[in-house]
Structure 1
């Protein structure tokens, strides 16, 4: 009977443990009712519109290089600084956008960026020198970077199960912009000149604010902002109170001493007044940047990988029309090459979400595969100057770069997790922007020296290979630690040493109990 009762009690305990586990799993995997449905699809439509009319404008300015070369200067090195400053400030200002999202709602942040970018492009349309374009395009990049950060973060707050697909649909807007904007920009330049074309593009960027207006704050966003603000206020208040008590206690007044002891007992400080408080107010650097991310090997690998990807991506996308024009192809046909890249990029941005959602391929493998394809296309690009060959290379490069560009938030979440997704995306975009700056500068110098685009495209292929290596660096390091540095096997312990170890543990337990009793 006793054995039956024991079995029954054991089964009851097992059932309770299983029920608790199921409750914990369901509470962790429970998805809010507003996610993946309803207003989330309106937010997705707003993201699509905003990215098409603002972020999609990045890569259309390669068409303006030919017009600037005719009217301002014939130095490619000087001209590339206009687009390089735009790309650099756009990706570096993602940190500013991440900081603003802690203070304001994502809708307000997106509208601030749209206003700043529109105003800058309007002033750029009245420029007469290169320095005017440098300044206005740098400020416009800050605005576009803030918009880009807000459109990447808002989807995480509204989608859970369908995040991969929603992210792909939103980033399809950039591919569609690559398909539509370059021929439109070339048409506007022919009709109104480059200054009139810039003014019309400023109007298009202003209309992206319509899409940002539907970024209604979600409950998760409001809860995160509320917790951040409350934590900062409580930490600062606690620090100020403890600092005041410490100063008063050092003056030696009995009343202050008694009050400080009672206050320390309430705060759980142990009555030690002269001890410095543990909590410190948040510095400006801590508020702007999460420095802890820079101490992680996984995060550094992610950031370095997208630095090399940004270097190669700029060379391919920005200088493909110039490469075609350099071999005698007309400006309209050269602009169509960018449109081909945009069309295949849109297809890739739509299809990659299904690959990730149905677990056909991991996000690391997908990113590395697309980078290898990019590398091969760039290295093989200088083999022929025929238009059909360049169009085929542009189509393949557009498809593979479309995949890598659209998985930036997903890769960041895979490396870092969702808790610090905003900071991780911001750092990734910063390193991407630094890569675009380095790539543009190196291309300008190489083209001025060699009068050919063969060497820059080979450099782009090498950078894509390096990006793939850093994507898999964490997997390689884990493999090396597992198989090359095996832990030494446990040596058998003598019975005498085992007995003495037990005695010392028992003695330490008795001493700890005695200390507790004396404290009580």
Structure 2
């Protein structure tokens, strides 16, 4: 197709911002729908006579798929285009929610919600974020922040909306209503996603297109070299350990509040508080990272989540839980927003989608185990104290790993300034770029 760059630059809206809007909407309805699960947990437990652990496993399965699938959806988007993956993902999410509303057993919930929502979000998440990266260079951080803030805003808006649907329509029709919303909004906005500005005769940020050799995307580590490095190993282990507790509040905070006498309408607002904090964290903590350094700020994110979880352990009333939810959301949001940027810092942009996809398998495994294990622990002890304290410890261990990595970076920089033949902080196993 032939497009002239002047039409998009001469005072008009740069097309890349429409791509950001599409990515925002996809993450809004995709993750927002996934994070409504806590609002449905009590209804599912009651109607199917199931334990809290077995119901929590539904979310764990979905989370495993939507983080783990990025290792496949990223390369598929490069081949087929991000728009196709995003549209297919939104259709799968909508279908999964609708089928969950028709389920007659918990096994059918596993298949409908776990597979439908899990595969749908997994098919769309990495492709839409990858598309945003190609449309921007100078404003990439801001554009990426806007795109992923859909997750935070979705967590703020969708759970209370789901609770309203449950109260007025019943949980089965609530799933149908959410499924219809995802298809209408998600598919409609996913049509704005475009893979590459060069298809419209533009460069990133609306500039004239540059020769391929001049593109920042051309520089970076080979995937094989990146994943064999000490830096990647440190990030992978830190993310894996942290993820065992990362999504426990998304599943169990509402049941915890209900167990302690918080009215349902207020309990669901706690998920909104996580979403509000998450949105704030993605913007404000990102600026802090530019000044402090991203590795040091990631250390702060894990430490902050650990301290916030201690507030949860000590709280039983709405306001104490709301304070926990906001600050946990802020540090969680900073963690999610900084992780791709840190990968870009360490390994360059050439294979950023594939490297992030491999890294996110760590989050997938942690999510598969953590929320379900917390539910089973509650079934045995009738208390969430042990899972909360375990999550505190996991985040502190992750913070320790990030501290060690930041020290390693500092030592490497000192070595590189002392020797003109230094490697600017890259460990030897990844010194080769492609």
Instruction: Give the TM-score taking structure 1 as reference length.
Output: 0.70
Larger relative contact order, structure 1 or 2 (CA cutoff 8 Å, min sep 6): 2
CA distance in structure 2 between the partners assigned to 1:219 and 1:46 by the alignment: 15
Q: Does 1:161 align with 2:92?
A: no
1:483 positional shift: 9.9
Q: Partner residue of 2:246? A: 313
Q: Does 1:420 align with 2:351?
A: yes
CA-based RMSD of the aligned residues comes to 2.6
Flag structure 2 segments of 5+ consecutive residues without an equivalent: 1-8, 202-221, 419-434
- Distance verdict in 2 for CA 1:478–1:403, change over 3 Å: closer
1:416 positional shift: 1.9
Q: Partner residue of 1:281? A: none
Secondary structure at the aligned position of 2:194 is classed as coil
Q: Partner residue of 1:213? A: 191
- Distance verdict in 2 for CA 1:157–1:463, change over 3 Å: same
1:145 positional shift: 0.9
CA displacement, residues 184-242 of structure 1 (integer Å, 9 cap, x when unaligned): 1111111221111111111122121122111123156899xxxxxxxxxxxxxxxxxxx
| Matches for 1:356-367 after TM superposition, within 5 Å | 356=289, 359-367=290-298
Q: Partner residue of 1:187? A: 164
8 Å contact kept, 1:302–1:415: no
Q: Partner residue of 1:333? A: 266
Secondary structure at the aligned position of 2:180 is classed as helix
8 Å contact kept, 1:167–1:353: no
Secondary structure at the aligned position of 1:452 is classed as coil
Q: Partner residue of 1:352? A: 285
**Number of residue pairs aligned between Structure 1 and Structure 2:** 386
Q: Partner residue of 2:206? A: none
CA displacement, residues 159-183 of structure 1 (integer Å, 9 cap, x when unaligned): 1111111122222221111111111
8 Å contact kept, 2:56–2:251: no
CA displacement, residues 6-41 of structure 1 (integer Å, 9 cap, x when unaligned): xxxxxxxxxxxxxxxxxxxxxxxxxxx89xx71111
| Matches for 1:424-443 after TM superposition, within 5 Å | 424-443=355-374
Q: Does 1:38 align with 2:14?
A: yes
Secondary structure at the aligned position of 2:38 is classed as coil
8 Å contact kept, 1:355–1:361: yes
| Matches for 1:228-267 after TM superposition, within 5 Å | none
- Distance verdict in 2 for CA 1:409–1:477, change over 3 Å: closer
Instruction: Give the TM-score taking structure 2 as reference length.
Output: 0.83
Q: Which has the larger radius of gyration?
A: 1
8 Å contact kept, 2:96–2:113: yes
Flag structure 1 segments of 5+ consecutive residues without an equivalent: 1-32, 224-288, 488-520
CA distance in structure 1 between the partners assigned to 2:86 and 2:79 by the alignment: 13
1:120 positional shift: 2.3
8 Å contact kept, 1:76–1:448: yes
CA distance in structure 2 between the partners assigned to 1:412 and 1:482 by the alignment: 18
8 Å contact kept, 1:299–1:416: no
1:151 positional shift: 1.9
